[in-house]
């Protein structure tokens, strides 16, 4: 991580909201983080915490029917993507920023061959003709280690297994050698053995291509094997950001701490596995003050009154947490 | 694909027998004594016996059924009581006109319905969507002979753009097209109404699918997303409805042929009806049984063509 | 395919239908139109200006005028009066035949689903074959063989509509029959018939109303079409299809003869389609079919 150099992506105070039942509710609230070139940042959180919406906001794919980016900036290579026209955004998507989705079974078009679906990206962004794009697509199929790639080029998605389909998705995403890859729970839907294969393929291609990556997951075990830095999200906010080792060694936000304690470990008795009491608040009924307060074992009076800000922990700007108790907010004065 | 075709063909056989059985029940069992129906109340006992023998209805019902099935499959569909010509020849003479009409109607219906339904879905709840929805609801409220008469009045009688009587069998391609135009448009717009509705709802569903999001994430232009990525998926249920509509189309073609006085299966059937030509009528019912089975078969085969998942199953 | 909400009380479902109605402008307009037509048909004996069968050679083929708002036909009969009386006939034939189809189809579907097994398989196969017949062709065949009369017309139309109602009734029957409380009902000694009536009917009532209105529209179309072909109720009785048939002979010089009944048919069918379509959207946006 080359600190000091301009980050490839800087998300600043992002707010993305959805209309439902007459009101507009923020699914992502005041989210800021950066991703350096070649860096892998993991965004961790339970389902519905806003991690996928964050990724869709970066892609400009928030469903226009009921959602929109309300405020904030998404600076990619110095250029703000918020407010960019659909046409400008389209030129960036699939070329400089790509995304892999969670469901390999439904994310590929069932009536188009996988070869076509990979080649298509190259034809739109690189202006290649059918033959050249086909050759490049075949090369990509081999890179993602599809056995007998040449024979399978003309096959349809339903003829592939889940793991193989996710490899095809990776080939599509990497076709134009993007600078940033967003991977939204890419292994969640797969069998455990296949998960490991896909993860190592992603890690391998990431370093080969020199990409930055945002890896979204709810699985802390996966985070440990792939991330450089971790952002923990809860109820639409980032509650803690830290380098991987720091986070695992010194989890600071009570939510992170509880999350880490809830990972099953081989060397521990499963009976000691803890669960977090209570439930994630719904998007339309957020508590006042700190959003984790109702479930927090360290709760003090102020927690239910005012929402804390993301503040450096122990004076280290690389490690930040959003907590009145653990990350004293006085530090903000000179942050 | 070949295996799929063979399988579908084999499956059509039991359907054909079932449909023929219904026709047999309708034609031989329900009406009581067909000889009486043909000859009327005044007929002598002897004349009735003769007619029963001629029609083969003096045999036991099981024998009649077996004979009926064998004859139906062998194309022995009876001889006209009026003209003395075999029904199969009469059918062969007019079949090309009906096929020409219905195929053109399907093309017209698809050419109007698919783009209209797609636009309606893309511009959901905008004025073009409301217009398309109301228009298609109105379109499928038309009995085919009502729309045919209104078209005839407007474009043939008032504006004189098309002939009032759509004669078939013209060698001049322009004249032939002019004769075909109004009947085909009549059937086509009713079909377009069905196609528009199904295309719209199917398109709305497909546009919300994950693979459409993938295509957007790849940077595929909007136009290509709609017409290449979404449409082929959206057309799969449309084929079902076109298949269902083909049944309605067969019925509507009868009415259209009458209004435009155009030769065809429907006209043949109705003139047999008016002349009380019992054997032709019964033969036509067998013909329609075949038409129904063939239409269902064609629908199944079209699925295999559009959806790659079907033909490999 | 159809999302049927099970286990709700009847009141709840009817409330659902009422709510669906009030939310949908299309169904309201359709309902208003249809009720207006029904009212006119009911009032035909009172409001029609002439006897629909009264011939008047002196005013043959008169165009619309103050005396005859919609003109007269080739026998000098008043078109408006014939339209009003024709509406009665059209509505009676289609309503009776669809109610019969509902009843017969419903019983077939419920019994078939309830009995299950091979019986169910055979019955449903038969329904499928019946369904593959286009309604007009089926109607044409039946009336052609049985002869044209009002009763035969009703039989023909009912026959084409039985299969779809059997399908609707069967689907929830199969689901409900597996429920624990059905076993409980049996244990309590309720008869099968009572169980089916009480527990299955409420589940399909909304769908039956939608299907009923759409099939009523189809029935009116078939009746008119068969009358137009010459297989309807015998002249001189006024039927819309028959009026168009007679008017069609004079289409070159007296277009109004066929235009007015044409518009009448279109209006009724359109109003019924608006009711059914609006309701269907409101009750279940996913529920749709060709016809």
Candidates A59, A80, A272, A50; CA nearest to A181 is A59
Q: Say yes or no to pLDDT of C7 above 50.
A: no
Q: Chain A residue closest to B305 (CA)?
A: A111
A124 contacts B233? CB cut-off 8 A: no
Dihedral pair phi/psi, residue A68, rounded to 5°? -160, 160
CA distance B20 to B65: 10
Label residue C21 by pLDDT band (50, 70, 90): low
3-class DSSP assignment, residue A322: coil
Element (H, E) at A156: none
Strands (E), A54-186: 67-76, 79-80, 97-100, 180-184
Residues 38-77 of B with CB under 8 A from C: none
Q: Which residue has the tokens 């636009």?
A: B119
ipTM higher than 0.95? no
Q: Say yes or no to pLDDT of B263 above 60.
A: yes
Give the least confident one: A129-143, A215-229, B270-284.
Answer: B270-284
**Residue range A306-322: mean pLDDT, rounded:** 85
CA torsion through residues A93, A97, A102, A108, sign: positive
Q: What is the CA radius of gyration of chain C?
A: 22
Please write the tens of the pLDDT for every residue from A199-255.
Answer: 999 999 998 988 999 999 988 888 888 899 999 999 999 999 999 999 998 899 999
Tokens representing A208 are 């080969």
Q: Which chains touch A (3+ CB pairs under 8 A)?
A: B
On whether any CB of chain B is under 8 Å from the CB of C230, the answer is yes
Predicted confidence at residue C20, as pLDDT, reads 60
Q: Say yes or no to pLDDT of B77 above 60.
A: yes
Please write the tens of the pLDDT for every residue from B188-232.
Answer: 999 999 999 999 989 999 998 999 999 999 999 989 999 989 998
3-class DSSP assignment, residue A100: strand
3-class DSSP assignment, residue B225: helix
Tokens representing B183 are 């009947």
Predicted confidence at residue A1, as pLDDT, reads 43
Label residue C225 by pLDDT band (50, 70, 90): very high
CA distance B204 to B125: 12
CA distance A296 to A280: 12
Predicted confidence at residue B101, as pLDDT, reads 92
| DSSP string over A52-80 | HHHHHHHHT-S-TTTEEEEEEEEEETTEE
On whether any CB of chain A is under 8 Å from the CB of B227, the answer is no
On whether any CB of chain A is under 8 Å from the CB of B222, the answer is yes
User: CA angle, B77 as apex, B71 and B79 as ends, to 5°?
Assistant: 125
Label residue C12 by pLDDT band (50, 70, 90): low
Tokens representing C86 are 């024709």
CA distance B20 to A292: 71
Candidates B174, B147, B165, B169; CA nearest to B100 is B169
* B288 chain-C contacts, CB cut-off 8 A: 137, 141
On whether any CB of chain B is under 8 Å from the CB of C200, the answer is no
Higher pLDDT, C25 or A135: A135
For the ranges A284-293, A311-320, B106-115, C180-189, the maximum mean pLDDT occurs at B106-115
Q: Which residue has the tokens 């026709």?
A: B23
Tokens representing B290 are 């075949």
On whether any CB of chain B is under 8 Å from the CB of A130, the answer is no
Label residue C287 by pLDDT band (50, 70, 90): very low
A93 contacts B217? CB cut-off 8 A: yes
Q: Are C103 and B254 in contact (CB under 8 A)?
A: no
Angle of helix A130-143 relative to helix A162-174, nearest 10 degrees?
Answer: 130
Neighbours of C8 (CB within 10 A): 14
Name, in order, each residue with C-beta under 8 angstroms of B60's C-beta and a sequence gap of 6 or more.
Answer: none
Predicted confidence at residue A305, as pLDDT, reads 84
3-class DSSP assignment, residue B26: helix
For the ranges A254-268, B49-63, B193-207, the maximum mean pLDDT occurs at B193-207
CA distance A187 to A172: 16
Q: Are C114 and C185 in contact (CB under 8 A)?
A: no
CA distance B97 to B264: 5
B218 contacts A111? CB cut-off 8 A: no
Candidates B150, B119, B145; CA nearest to B231 is B119
CA torsion through residues C131, C136, C141, C147, sign: positive
Predicted confidence at residue B85, as pLDDT, reads 87
CA distance B109 to B61: 44
Residues facing residue A14 across a β-bridge = A31
Give how far Cα A173 sits from Cα of A100, A168, A177, A262, Å.
7, 9, 8, 33
On whether any CB of chain B is under 8 Å from the CB of C257, the answer is no
Please write the tens of the pLDDT for every residue from C95-134.
Answer: 999 999 999 998 898 888 888 889 998 888 888 888 878 8
Q: Which chains touch C (3+ CB pairs under 8 A)?
A: B
CA distance A277 to A275: 6
Give how far Cα C238 sits from Cα of C77, C112, C163, Å.
10, 40, 30
Chain pair B-C, CB pairs under 8 angstroms: 135
Q: How far is CA B250 from the centre of its chain?
A: 3
Q: Which residue has the tokens 């076993």?
A: C183
Predicted confidence at residue B170, as pLDDT, reads 65
CA distance C119 to C125: 10
On whether any CB of chain B is under 8 Å from the CB of A32, the answer is no
Length of chain B: 313
Please write the tens of the pLDDT for every residue from A276-306.
Answer: 777 778 777 788 888 888 888 888 888 888 8
Predicted confidence at residue B1, as pLDDT, reads 67
Q: What is the DSSP letter of A272?
A: G
Give the least confident one: A245-249, A330-334, C174-178.
Answer: A330-334
Residue to test with chain B: of A98, A107, A128, most B Cβ within 10 A: A107
Please write the tens of the pLDDT for every residue from A182-197.
Answer: 999 988 888 888 888 8
A158 contacts B218? CB cut-off 8 A: no
CA distance A67 to C191: 54
Q: Are A22 and A14 in contact (CB under 8 A)?
A: no
Give the least confident one: A8-17, B284-293, C201-210.
Answer: C201-210
On whether any CB of chain A is under 8 Å from the CB of B229, the answer is yes
3-class DSSP assignment, residue A214: strand
Predicted confidence at residue B12, as pLDDT, reads 83
Tell me what the pLDDT averaged over chain A comes to: 87
**Residue range C168-181: mean pLDDT, rounded:** 77
Predicted confidence at residue A268, as pLDDT, reads 61
Q: What is the DSSP letter of B79?
A: B
Dihedral pair phi/psi, residue C261, rounded to 5°? -60, -30
B309 contacts A109? CB cut-off 8 A: no
Predicted confidence at residue C18, as pLDDT, reads 66
Neighbours of A27 (CB within 10 A): 22
Q: Say yes or no to pLDDT of C24 above 80.
A: no
Candidates B28, B21, B30, B84; CA nearest to B59 is B28
Tokens representing B28 are 């031989």
Predicted confidence at residue C4, as pLDDT, reads 38
Candidates C272, B244, B242, C173; CA nearest to C280 is C272
Predicted confidence at residue B109, as pLDDT, reads 93
Q: What is the DSSP letter of B86?
A: B
Do C and A make contact via 3 or more CB pairs under 8 A? The reply is no
Neighbours of C262 (CB within 10 A): 28
Predicted confidence at residue C13, as pLDDT, reads 56
Give how far Cα B308 sits from Cα of A109, B10, B168, C177, Å.
11, 21, 39, 37
Give the least confident one: A53-57, B296-300, B301-305.
Answer: B301-305
Share of chain B above pLDDT 90, in %: 25
Task: Label residues B184-218 b or e (16+ Cβ within 10 Å = b).
Answer: bbbbbbbbbbbbbbbbbbbbbbbbebbbbbbbbbb
Predicted confidence at residue C29, as pLDDT, reads 87
Give the least confident one: B148-162, B240-254, C66-80, C237-251.
Answer: C66-80
Q: Which residue has the tokens 């070869």?
A: A115
Predicted confidence at residue A273, as pLDDT, reads 60
On whether any CB of chain B is under 8 Å from the CB of A98, the answer is yes
Burial class (CB in 10 A: 0-12, 13-18, 19+), C267: middle
Given strand A67-76, what is the order of strands in its sheet? A23-35, A9-20, A67-76, A79-80
Predicted confidence at residue A270, as pLDDT, reads 58
CA distance C166 to C183: 24
CA distance A82 to A71: 9
Q: Are A106 and B208 in contact (CB under 8 A)?
A: no
Predicted confidence at residue C289, as pLDDT, reads 34
């Amino acid at each position: 991580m080359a600190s000091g150099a301009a980050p490839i992506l800087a998300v600043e105070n992002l707010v993305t909201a959805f209309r439902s039942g007459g009101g507009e509710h923020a699914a992502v609230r005041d989210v800021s983080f950066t991703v350096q070139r070649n860096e892998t940042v993991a965004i961790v959180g339970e389902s519905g915490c806003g991690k996928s919406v964050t990724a869709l906001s970066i892609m400009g794919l928030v469903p226009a029917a009921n959602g929109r980016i309300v405020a904030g900036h998404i600076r990619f290579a110095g250029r703000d993507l918020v407010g960019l026209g659909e046409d400008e955004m389209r030129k960036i998507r699939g070329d400089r920023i790509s995304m892999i989705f969670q469901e390999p079974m439904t994310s590929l078009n069932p009536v188009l061959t996988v070869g076509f679906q990979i080649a298509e990206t190259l034809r739109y962004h690189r202006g290649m003709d059918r033959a050249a794009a086909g050759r490049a697509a075949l090369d990509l199929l081999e890179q993602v280690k599809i056995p007998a790639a040449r024979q399978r080029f003309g096959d349809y998605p339903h003829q592939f297994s889940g793991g193989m389909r996710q490899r095809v998705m990776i080939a599509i995403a990497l076709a134009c050698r993007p600078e940033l890859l967003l991977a939204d729970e890419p292994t969640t839907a797969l069998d455990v053995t296949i998960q490991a294969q896909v993860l190592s393929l992603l890690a391998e291609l990431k370093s080969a291509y020199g990409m930055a990556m945002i890896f979204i997951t709810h699985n802390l075990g996966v985070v440990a094997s792939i991330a450089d830095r971790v952002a923990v999200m809860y109820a639409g906010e980032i509650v803690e950001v830290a380098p991987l080792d720091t986070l695992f060694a010194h989890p600071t936000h009570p939510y992170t701490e509880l999350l880490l304690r809830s990972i099953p470990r081989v060397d521990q008795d499963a009976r000691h596995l803890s669960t977090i009491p209570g439930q994630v608040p719904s998007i339309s009924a957020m508590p006042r003050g700190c959003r984790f307060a109702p479930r927090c074992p360290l709760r003090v009076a102020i927690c239910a009154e005012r929402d804390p800000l993301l503040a450096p922990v122990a004076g280290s700007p690389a490690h930040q947490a959003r907590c009145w108790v653990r990350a004293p907010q006085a530090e903000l004065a000179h942050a | 694909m070949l295996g799929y075709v063979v399988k579908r063909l084999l499956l059509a056989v039991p359907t054909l027998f079932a449909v023929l059985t219904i026709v047999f029940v309708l034609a031989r069992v329900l009406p009581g004594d067909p000889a009486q129906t043909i000859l009327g109340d005044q007929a002598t006992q002897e004349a009735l016996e003769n007619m029963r023998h001629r029609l083969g209805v003096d045999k036991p019902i099981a024998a009649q059924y077996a004979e009926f099935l064998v004859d139906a499959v062998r194309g022995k569909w009876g001889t006209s009581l009026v003209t003395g010509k075999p029904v199969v020849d009469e059918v062969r003479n007019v079949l090309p006109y009906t096929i020409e009409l219905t195929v053109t109607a399907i093309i017209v219906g698809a050419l109007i319905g698919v783009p209209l339904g797609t636009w309606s879905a893309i511009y959901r709840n905008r004025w073009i969507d409301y217009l398309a929805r109301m228009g298609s609801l109105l379109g499928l409220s038309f009995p085919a002979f009502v729309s045919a008469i209104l078209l005839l009045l407007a474009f043939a009688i008032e504006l004189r753009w098309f002939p009032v009587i759509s004669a078939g069998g013209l060698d001049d391609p322009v004249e032939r097209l002019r004769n075909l135009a109004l009947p085909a448009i009549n059937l086509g717009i009713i079909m377009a109404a069905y196609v528009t509705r199904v295309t719209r709802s199917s398109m709305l569903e497909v546009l919300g699918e994950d693979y459409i999001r993938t295509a957007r994430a790849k940077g595929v232009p909007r136009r290509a997303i709609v017409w290449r990525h979404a449409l082929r998926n959206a057309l799969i249920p449309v084929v079902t409805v076109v298949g269902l509509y083909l049944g309605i189309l067969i019925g509507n073609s009868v009415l259209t042929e009458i209004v435009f006085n155009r030769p065809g299966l429907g006209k043949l059937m109705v003139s047999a009806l008016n002349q009380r030509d019992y054997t032709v009528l019964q033969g036509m019912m067998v013909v329609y049984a075949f038409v129904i089975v063939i239409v269902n078969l064609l629908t199944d085969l079209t699925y295999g063509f559009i959806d790659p998942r079907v033909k490999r199953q | 395919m159809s999302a049927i909400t099970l286990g709700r009380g009847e009141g709840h479902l009817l409330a659902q239908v009422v709510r669906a109605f009030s939310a949908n402008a299309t169904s309201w307009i359709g309902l208003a139109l249809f009720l207006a037509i029904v009212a006119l048909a009911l009032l035909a004996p009172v409001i029609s200006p002439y006897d629909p069968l009264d011939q008047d050679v002196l005013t043959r083929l008169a165009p619309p005028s103050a005396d005859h708002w919609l003109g007269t036909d080739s026998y000098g009969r008043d078109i408006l009066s014939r339209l009003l009386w024709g509406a009665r006939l059209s509505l009676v034939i289609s309503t009776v035949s669809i109610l019969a189809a509902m009843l017969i189809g419903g019983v077939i579907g419920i019994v078939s689903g309830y009995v299950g097994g091979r019986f169910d398989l055979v019955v449903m196969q038969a329904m499928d074959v019946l369904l593959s017949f286009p309604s007009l062709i089926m109607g044409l065949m039946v009336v052609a063989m049985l002869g044209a009369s009002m009763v035969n017309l009703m039989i023909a139309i009912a026959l084409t509509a039985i299969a779809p109602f059997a399908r609707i009734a069967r689907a929830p029957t199969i689901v409900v029959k597996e429920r624990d409380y059905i076993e409980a009902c049996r244990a309590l000694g309720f008869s099968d018939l009572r169980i089916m009536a009480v527990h299955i009917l409420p589940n399909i009532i909304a769908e039956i109303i939608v299907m009923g209105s759409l099939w009523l529209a189809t029935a009116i179309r078939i009746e008119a079409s068969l009358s137009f072909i010459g297989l309807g109720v015998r002249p001189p009785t006024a039927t819309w299809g028959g009026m168009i048939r007679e008017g069609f002979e004079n289409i070159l010089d007296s277009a109004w003869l066929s235009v007015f009944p044409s518009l009448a048919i279109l209006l009724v069918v359109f109003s019924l389609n608006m009711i059914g379509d609006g309701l269907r959207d409101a009750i279940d946006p996913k529920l749709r079919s060709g016809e």
